[in-house]
Amino acid sequence: MARKRCAYIRVDVFAKKPFGGNPLAVFPDARGVTAREMQLLAKEMNLSETTFVLPPSRESGADARVRIFTPDMEIPYAGHPTIGTFYTLAKEGKIRVRDGMTTARMEAGAGVLPVEIHRSKGVVRKVVTVQRKPEFGKEFDDIDLLAEALCVDIKDFDLRKAPPQVVSTGLPWLITPLRTRKAVEGVTVNAGAFAKVVEKLPKNVVDVYTTSLEPIDRRATAHSRGFFMASGSVLEDPATGSASGCLGAYLVDRHLIEVKRRTAIVNEQGFAVGRPSRIEVQVETSSDGAIESIRVGGSVVEVMRGVAEF
């Protein structure tokens, strides 16, 4: 039997030069690849996510259907895979873009979502994913267990102003603010306790996002680290678009930063794993303060190309 061949492109998202930001493998034409093969390829790539592009459903009105896989499972949405995939599709000429801003539409498990592609002088400079309106879950009340999982002190939490809370803008995260950047930098995950935290979270919530309003870069808003469970282990994500949108919604909803009709946030991440990342977030609110839209974006750089044979 002939082996299948499927080309892929590796990019770094939320970075302006290779080996920063969050790596992503994009299969820009995954026709003929089964769901099982997609999962195996994602496991082989061993990245936080791998994407597979397919023709959109006729009724969706989308430009592309994107399936997103972690090494363990398919997920309905993620920020950096969306941004990296549409950068790749635009760069490869698989969707039409013009100088200025072009709005494309992505069909994903979370629904049909707009993606904004910014190009100047024929070069894609930035891609922005428009996330769903936030859903705020319950506050996480077992702080002793969460502190044990993150190896931090109870005093590192500010439970009155900023309690840990599940937030989703397409993919749910437990947003976990800490008082200082030093506390965030000092997080060392206890995998056993982390698994117990996940057991207490709502179904399909397996990710914890620690953050502080003491960034390294004075032009930034927050300094963050993201942790998730994969194959029974806890891994750290270098740059997380979905969680950054959740963080922006959390900060605006609780007025932990100055809130405007369009609140601009810069979230820095990845320093602890040697992949500095800059994630831009914009939270738009209505006149009564309700969150109307969340945009998360950044730059992307191509790193390598290859062909998978299986």
Catalytic residues: 49
Q: How far apart are CA 248 and CA 295, in angstroms?
A: 9
Residues 6+ apart with CB under 8 A from 264: 280, 281, 282
HEC sequence for 29-59: CCCCCCHHHHHHHHHHHCCCCEEEEECCCCC
Q: 267-276: buried (b, 16+ CB within 10 Å) or exposed (e) per residue?
A: bbbbbeeebb
Residues 6+ apart with CB under 8 A from 106: 62, 63, 64, 65, 66, 82, 85, 86, 112, 113, 114, 115, 129
Strand-pairing partners, residue 68, are 51, 75
3-state secondary structure of 5: strand
Q: How far apart are CA 221 and CA 200, in angstroms?
A: 30
Q: How far apart are CA 186 and CA 259, in angstroms?
A: 29
Q: Amino acid letter at 260? A: K
The angle, 0 to 180 degrees and rounded to 10, between the axes of the packed helices 143-150 and 191-200 is: 140
What are the structure tokens assigned to 178, written together?
Answer: 């800490």
270: alpha, beta or left? (left if phi > 0; alpha if psi -120 to 50) = left
Q: Amino acid letter at 230? A: A
